[in-house]
Amino acid sequence: MEDNNSTCGPDFDFGQLRRFPDIEAANLFAHDATDELILNEAAAALARTGSGPGNGVVVVVGDRYGALTLAAATLHGLRGLRVHQDGLSGERALAANAARLDLAGAYTSGPLDGSLFAGARVVLWQLPRSLEEVAEVAELISAHADPDVQIFAGGRIKHMTVAMNTVLSRHFSSVTAGRAWRKSRPLFVSVPLKEGPASSFPRCEFHEELGLWLCAHGATFGGTKVDVGTRFLLEYIPAMRQDTETAIDLGAGNGTIASALAKARPGLHISATDQSAAAVASTLATAKANGLQDQIEVIRDDALSSFPAGSAGLIVLNPPFHVGATVHAGIALKLFAAAARVLAPGGELWCVYNRHLDYKQVLSKIVGPTRVEGRNSKFTVTVSTRVAGPAAETD
């Protein structure tokens, strides 16, 4: 596709989409050239699936904020689209955009499993950067979709590698790269091999030094590894507040923190929460693999939105500092504010972050008096204590 080709822009106004409730900022957008490229390349196949309610053979994976789903529904009159998005804020943004465009009934959101792809004829896929995530989706499509399924995948060229083609080729006999357009490239994937087990996820790995199994679905931060910052934070478990029966692992990922806390403190009940569907499923798998499922409750939620204010005695957090591919501090600040709201007076927020980030001031301002508990060559560990009333800016 050439740069000067027409796009579906004139027929679907991508500018009307919002990222809300995800972070909005001048340098963050609700759609990208990859969305337009995928839709253009898939146009003929989408048109062939026919329109009208309940056609149900088109699946959308990895839609950021609804651009793929809502443009496909609008441009081709499609209904019954099946959609999986890993992040809850993306799912909520799609719902909000759909409601505004009167398209709430055009699609259903679902988990990443075989039923998502059952009988699928066309798949639109914003490729993730993680090869593990590519592998998990590819396995499921190959095992469950129609044998004639056509996958129109795409991504930003800078985030794509030949290794992706290799992973896809394990599950499909036809994997072809298309022409780049505005720094995005399409991949056309078809002829599922339908070999092997339906899914090899979650994958689990035993970590001798922690005495814990860690399990991960493809889209989970860090996979089955122990994050280096988290490893440092875990050294401080003995110093964390003792006189509380409940704790929150905020942004649980593969469940390392929740499981380490549960193992160290058998009396503690832990709510492990993450906005990522893969993280939530991984944390649950990790808890079960370690026999800790009675101590750990797993909740998919965006920044503690379903947790009552002033209800927690201890929150432990290793915050993300990337939003997708964009470095943006907003997400960490959002999680600090969430922790401040949910902590009870006297409650503690324990945090680990890259040393160069220097979040101490901001934690003091948002949460309460903040102390640096530890520092190594790469990371800082802090504890912030919630005070009654507005947070004080102190040491």
Ligand X SMILES: C[S@@+](CC[C@H](N)C(=O)[O-])C[C@H]1O[C@@H](n2cnc3c(N)ncnc32)[C@H](O)[C@@H]1O
- Quote the least distance from Cβ 200 to ligand X, whole Å: 21
- Quote the least distance from Cβ 169 to ligand X, whole Å: 29
- Quote the least distance from Cβ 301 to ligand X, whole Å: 6
Under 8 Å between Cβ of 283 and 95: no
**168 vs 279 by CB, closer to ligand X:** 279
**14 vs 336 by CB, closer to ligand X:** 336
CA 351 to chain centre: 20
**111 vs 196 by CB, closer to ligand X:** 111
Residues 6+ away with beta carbon under 8 Å from 286: 204, 212, 213, 214, 215, 254, 255, 256, 258, 259
Under 8 Å between Cβ of 178 and 41: yes
Token pair of 54 as six digits: 């309940």
Q: Answer positive or negative: Cα dihedral of 83, 53, 33, 117.
A: positive
**175 vs 248 by CB, closer to ligand X:** 248
- Quote the least distance from Cβ 115 to ligand X, whole Å: 23
Q: Which residue type, as a one-letter code, is found at position 149?
A: V
Under 8 Å between Cβ of 218 and 225: no
Residues 6+ away with beta carbon under 8 Å from 373: 236, 239, 350, 381, 382, 383
**154 vs 251 by CB, closer to ligand X:** 251
- Quote the least distance from Cβ 95 to ligand X, whole Å: 16
- Quote the least distance from Cβ 331 to ligand X, whole Å: 5
Pairing of strands 172-177, 122-126: unpaired
**320 vs 346 by CB, closer to ligand X:** 320
> Contact positions toward ligand X, by CB under 6 A?
89, 221-222, 227, 230, 251-254, 256-257, 274-276, 279, 302-303, 318, 320, 331
